[in-house]
Amino acid sequence: MAEERRQKQCSVSLPTESMKAMAESVGVGQLQEESCAALSEEVSYRIKEIAQDALKFMRHGKRRKLTTNDIDNALKLKNVEPLYGFQSQEFIPFRFASGGGRELYFYEEKEVDLSDIINTPLPRVPLDVSLKAHWLSIEGVQPSIPENPPPAPKEQQKVESTEPLKVVKPGQEEEGTIQGKSQGATPADGKGKDKGLIRLKPRSTHELSVEQQLYYKEITEACVGSCEAKRAEALQSIATDPGLYQMLPRFSTFISEGVRVNVVQNNLALLIYLMRMVKALMDNPTLYLEKYLHELIPAVVTCIVSKQLCLRPDVDNHWALRDFAARLMAQSCKTFSTTTNNIQSRITKTFTKSWLDDKTQWTTRYGCIAGLAELGPDVIKTLILPRLTVEGARIKAVMEGPVVSNIDKIGADHVQSLLLKHCASVIAKIRPQPDNMEQYRTDYGYLGPMLCSHVMKARTQAALQAQQVNRTTLTITQPRPTLTVSQSGLSGSAGSRTPSIIKVPSSLTLMTPRPGTPSQPSPPATKYIVMATSAGASSTQQVFQDFHSVLHSSHPQGSLSLIGVTLNSMNLHLQPHRSLALFPAPLQPCSLW
Amino acid sequence: MAAVQGGLADTNEEKDIKTEPSSDGFGNNNANDGRVLSTSPGSSASDQQTLLAVLQFLRKNKLTESVEILRREAGLPEDSPELKGSDSSGAGSGGAAGSGDKEGGDASSLLSRTSSVTAAGEDQPDVNVVLSAYNQQGDPPLYQVYYSGLKKFIESVLDCHRAELSQLFYPLFVHMYLELVYNNHESEAKAFFEKFSGDQECYYEDDLRVLSSLSKREHMRGNETLMDFRTSKFVLRISRDSYQLLKRHLQERQNNQIWNIIQEHLYIDIFDGMPRSKGQIDAMSGSLAGEGKREANKAKVYYGLLKEPEIELPLDDEDEEAENEEGKPKKKKPKKDSMGSKSKKQDPNAPSQTRIPLPELKDSDKLDKIMYMKEATKRIRLGPDNLPSICFYSFLNAYQGLTAVDFTDDSSLIAGGFADSTVRVWSVTPKKLRKVKSAADLNLIDKESDDVLERIMDEKTASESKILYGHSGPVYGISFSPDRNYLLSSSEDGTVRLWSLQTFTCLVGYKGHNYPVWDTHFSPHGYYFVSGGHDRVARLWATDHYQPLRMFSGHLADVTCTRFHPNSNYVATGSSDRTIRLWDVLNGNCVRIFTGHKGPIHALAFSPNGKFLASGATDGRVLLWDIGHGLMIGELKGHTDTIYSLRFSRDGEILASGSMDNTVRLWDAMKAFDDLETDDFTAATGHVHLQDNSQELLLGTYMSKSTPVIHLHFTRRNLLLATGAYNP
């Protein structure tokens, strides 16, 4: 490969057409082919020479990116006048044009009206250079503070959780070798090599620094507290902060315990908050949750299928929570399902099993269907569509039969609309066009006619959208409140405007406790989710395995000492009248598990 | 060797005659030369050629007396009509080429040829002389045959010789390619390059890239890399056995083409003993002009430290101070017990105190020394089990413009050079930076008062940072004076500036480098400083002279970094030619050439005891050198990008390296050096046996958050300070 590259280097030179184009641009009309060839070789050589010199300037400028200034400096070195006014910090976009059998790349230079420039308000003065100090390492150990990179990058977390025996963390490895050395350095030096071979995965200790503990407390309190603004801030932090890896076991335990407790208490609001935390954790690009799924998935599934999630099932909108949790489930299936853990197939199996059960209540039924439906059109097609007739009959029995209870009726109603919503789009795709009410009735039973109208609606909508966007739909989720953060971190574009300097503490103590609001460089105000309508890769549904055995096989080590504190506080926040219920037997809501 | 050449000459002639009809006037001429060169009695061809080139140059510059003297000494024939003829041709007659041809004769034909090329309208006569050595000697299509023949031979020899002889590939490849290009065989050159460039060692890729862009004779003028190849002989170290093998092969095959190149462009350093292994060769090769000659590293280097001046310490609390007295030699070499007793004696390896004149210590310097010793007692002893803490100073909002950083020795000030031509100084302590009052205000203060030094400062100007304006290009090098009164900065504008940190103004602009100055460094004793730049010359200056005291020239490419030895008697320079040179300040001689890096060198650091040198390059490797023996003693692999900073801890136990890959790495320097000191064999033969123990020596890797580490500094208490600009 290196050879190929080298050969390319050898042969690269500008095409003669470039010479012609350039000649024309300066007014030389007819340039002979020979002169063009000679020129292009000469020009290519000179350009390469200048590029080589410019690289020198880049290296000495301690940069990775070649800038226009480097080229200017290289030109100056050759006693050539540099290009004035051609400054750009960033990538220079070249435009492409073709016509008359020619292809042309050019740099767009707009004519600028001077008065426009004069009249535009001055841009903000760029921030002045400032110095900021932090500890990169304290006696050989790198503190996990926002100024330092996350201790374990996502890739490594992934490898660690999927192939736990292969990987030894670099930090731990270092410590290991250091210890090995200090032992080997004593009398037997020759055996030092043998020691290097034995690589045991050291027991990982989960010590949180004081700042981390404070952060954890602040975040969990804010997440389940009463102040919505604070919660948004906290969730934002969870979703973006790169240094949460260490705290992940705590967070997952917090969520699973929280769900356990609040399902029993039918505290809908808290369950929603906890699910939002799960969502935020999943959104964090630096975290890989695989290791903690055994705690998170039961919690999420509980929120999908639990019989009762709120105190007044007839009034409260617990359906939204089920939908939300179902989406979370689908997302985690998509991200973490592998051939070894078979999450998707096991989840599917669980949902189907309880759906098929006749005694299942409408709430659970709704959750199962929602959970399945979110897994994608393939799942709908293979698992939900065949059962439409049966489900329709059951709904009919509730709707048209004797009034059993209001709750059942509402439940049936929701299941019906859910089925219609999800199935319509799928049917619209797989069923050939003429939509006949009667045909639908024979195929799908009670729900047939309603499906038919939904399908027709879906078809027209799809046609409309196809005109607007090509097969993808853009949905805009609810815009997150923008966070303005007073702390300026390393990444802080919101840093102080004056040149400031933070002194290094003279002693080797920890820096001041870290405030609960970590720095946030760019608040992502809106989020676009592109949903591809085409059916993606179908999931592996053949393999069914017992869910519990694997998910519960690896518990993270770590104490639960902090969970009490926060659970305590969240209960205080929301339900001052209620007594603290930490130990009720959560068997009933988790019966599915 | 002469015999070999003579034998080969016959075949040479035959070939020349064959090619004659196809070649132009130059070729004709050159063919003549080939004969003349090979048959000329006594002196070797290239020597005479250089001599004639010098004569030519002198005559062109109307230095007639020198011409006479030189001619007399060299024993060349007296002024002859031919010479006059060539003289006139030098003045511009185009017909000289023909006339020179007819005259024949030893010297005249050479002269006429050079002058005819000159007459072709060039402004660099010496370049042409050099280039003209690439005359036509063989059939261009046969070059590939020659090369692959040699390749086959080398591949068939015994394993032990193969590695050594493989060294020949690269220089031969380059010279054959250049010869083809010079003789306008463009397509053959291209084919040759494409066929064999893949065989070359990967570390020559940069040079090959330069070479590949070169396809025309016209390009050869003014191309630096090419000039380096021509002006310096590529040095190879080959054992006697391998050399004999090669010689025999070439004689058998009558392969005069390759032999000529070896004779003319290569310097083969033959040694007795075992041939070296591939690993040994790879460790040392990679520089632009091969390895350093062995004799180049034989000169004695006084690497010991100068005796510390006796300073009476104010014995206010005697307990601590008593310790200080003994702790003093700590700085020198605390790790060896034998050294501890030497504090009063002169180190045998140290230069004499007056070898180069050093400035006298001022009172303030003495105070600083006392401070230093006090701090030294509080110093943390570092080791593999006791790693330093690292404090990272991030430059925010530098917009990729931070180009150089330096700390004062006491870590109180930090200075940054920026691409926008500014130099900024920050105070890292609560003490703010203040200017001295204006002259008018200074007149008013009471000069007899005790706190006069306080009074001269202008409180109104107190601030945490100051900006120094003056340069007109990016500031690439920056260095504080040891007494913290001055700051040096070197810039793309070709100047080195000396700034006062009392008035925060520019005091002197040192002009001499006409090209960008990449680095500058103050002597640890003050007064002297060294600078190096694109003009391939390192200059030694004294602050009170506007012209350099010494010019260290010898590098074949830009001098990229400069560093003073702790005893101020030597200067180390690293260069883009991938060599490190050590220069004697006293006489300006180059006393050490270290080769082994595979990329431009960007960081140098002397160990505190002066015995060792560490260097870092764009290849991401740190190499360790023993200055006394002139040997490579270690290789530290781990970084994945250019190393911009290297620093030893104050006791020399830990080496810290900072790199573009956003990491600071700590290495066990003690262990690296200890392993070596027992190995006497390497010292005798000059071979290196590098063990790949980088992983064992690596004590820690600390990643910063997208912040390349461009400077490192150990405080007097062994806290490591690192700096870099945050790149969001």
Q: What pLDDT, in 10s, does the model give residues A96-134?
A: 777 777 777 777 777 888 888 888 888 888 888 888 899
Q: What pLDDT, in 10s, does the model give residues B686-699?
A: 566 666 777 888 88
pLDDT band at A388 (very low <50, low <70, confident <90, very high): confident
Higher pLDDT, B450 or A320: A320
pLDDT, residue B314, reads: 58
The three-class DSSP label of residue A10 is: helix
The minimal CB distance from B465 to the residues A140, A495, A499 is found for A499
Instruction: State how far residue A190 is from chain B, nearest Cα, in angstroms.
Output: 12
Q: Which residue of A has its CA nearest to B218?
A: A42
Amino acid B591 reads V
Torsion of Cα atoms, A460 then A466 then A472 then A473, to 10°: -50
Most A CBs within 10 A among B184, B199, B288, B397, hence the mutation to make, goes to B397
Contact B397 A62 (CB under 8 A): no
- Residue B539 is encoded by which pair of tokens? 């200059």
- A177 — contact with chain B (CB < 8 Å)? yes
Q: Which residue of A has its CA nearest to B219?
A: A45
Contact B208 A127 (CB under 8 A): no
Measured distance CA(A415)–CA(A395) in Å, rounded: 8
The minimal CB distance from A7 to the residues B194, B210, B395 is found for B194
The residues, any chain, with a CB within 8 Å of residue B84's CB and separated by 6 or more, are none
Q: Judge whether A142 and A136 are in contact, CB under 8 Å.
A: yes
The three-class DSSP label of residue B626 is: strand
Amino acid B695 reads Q
Weakest mean pLDDT among A362-366, B249-253, B488-492: B249-253
Q: Which residue of A has its CA nearest to B391?
A: A135
pLDDT, residue B248, reads: 85
Q: Which residue of A has its CA nearest to B490?
A: A60
Contact A139 B387 (CB under 8 A): yes
Measured distance CA(A77)–CA(B554) in Å, rounded: 21
Q: Judge whether B143 and B188 are in contact, CB under 8 Å.
A: yes
pLDDT, residue B688, reads: 63
Residue linked to tokens 């130099």: B423
Counting beta carbons within 10 angstroms of the beta carbon of residue B52, is it exposed (0 to 12), middle (13 to 18) or buried (19 or more)? buried
Long-range CB pairs of A452-461, under 8 A, 24+ apart, other chains included: A454/A420, A454/A421, A454/A423, A454/A424, A455/A424, A455/A427, A455/A428, A455/A431, A457/A424, A458/A424, A458/A425, A458/A427, A458/A428, A459/A428, A459/A433, A459/A435
Q: Judge whether A132 and A490 are in contact, CB under 8 Å.
A: yes
Measured distance CA(B593)–CA(B581) in Å, rounded: 5
| C-alpha atoms less than 13 angstroms from C-alpha of A168 in its C-beta half-sphere | 15
The enclosing H or E element of B511 equals strand B505-511
Contact A56 B576 (CB under 8 A): yes
The three-class DSSP label of residue A131 is: strand
Most A CBs within 10 A among B192, B213, B602, hence the mutation to make, goes to B213
The residues, any chain, with a CB within 8 Å of residue A95's CB and separated by 6 or more, are A105, A106, A107, A108
Measured distance CA(A374)–CA(B711) in Å, rounded: 53
pLDDT, residue B684, reads: 53
pTM (global) more than 0.90: no
The residue-averaged pLDDT of A455-467 equals 79
Chain B CB contacts of A195 below 8 Å: none
φ, ψ for residue B139 (rounded to 5)? Answer: -80, 120
Q: Please give the DSSP secondary-structure letter assigned to residue A150.
A: P
Q: Please give the DSSP secondary-structure letter assigned to residue A289.
A: G
Instruction: State how far residue A193 is from chain B, nearest Cα, in angstroms.
Output: 9
Longest distance between any two alpha carbons in chain B, whole Å: 94
Chain B CB contacts of A168 below 8 Å: none
Q: Which of B135-144, B349-358, B578-587 holds the top average pLDDT?
A: B578-587
pLDDT band at A488 (very low <50, low <70, confident <90, very high): very low
Measured distance CA(B663)–CA(A171) in Å, rounded: 13
CB count within 10 Å of CB B129 equals 23
Query: Is the ipTM above a cut-off of 0.90?
Result: no
Q: Please name which of B624, B600, B601, B590 lies closest in space to residue B693, comparing C-alpha atoms.
A: B624
Weakest mean pLDDT among A233-242, B168-177, B676-685: B676-685
Higher pLDDT, B292 or A321: A321
Task: Count how many pairs of residues, chain A against chain B, have C-beta atoms within 8 Å.
Answer: 203
Q: Report CA B349 to chain centroid distance, whole Å.
A: 24
Chain A CB contacts of B515 below 8 Å: 77
Q: Judge whether B172 and B261 are in contact, CB under 8 Å.
A: yes
Alpha-helix residue ranges (DSSP H) falling in B183-253? 186-196, 205-213, 217-220, 224-231, 240-253
Q: Please name which of B722, B721, B714, B723 lies closest in space to residue B375, comparing C-alpha atoms.
A: B714
Q: Please list the residues that pair with A94 across neighbouring strands.
A: A107
The three-class DSSP label of residue B457 is: strand
Q: Judge whether B698 and B704 are in contact, CB under 8 Å.
A: no
Contact A134 B391 (CB under 8 A): yes
The residues, any chain, with a CB within 8 Å of residue B452's CB and separated by 6 or more, are B445, B446
In the stretch 496-515 of chain A, residues with CB closer than 8 A to chain B read 499-501, 503-504, 508
Q: Judge whether A523 and A483 are in contact, CB under 8 Å.
A: yes
Q: Please give the DSSP secondary-structure letter assigned to residue B430.
A: S
pLDDT, residue B494, reads: 92
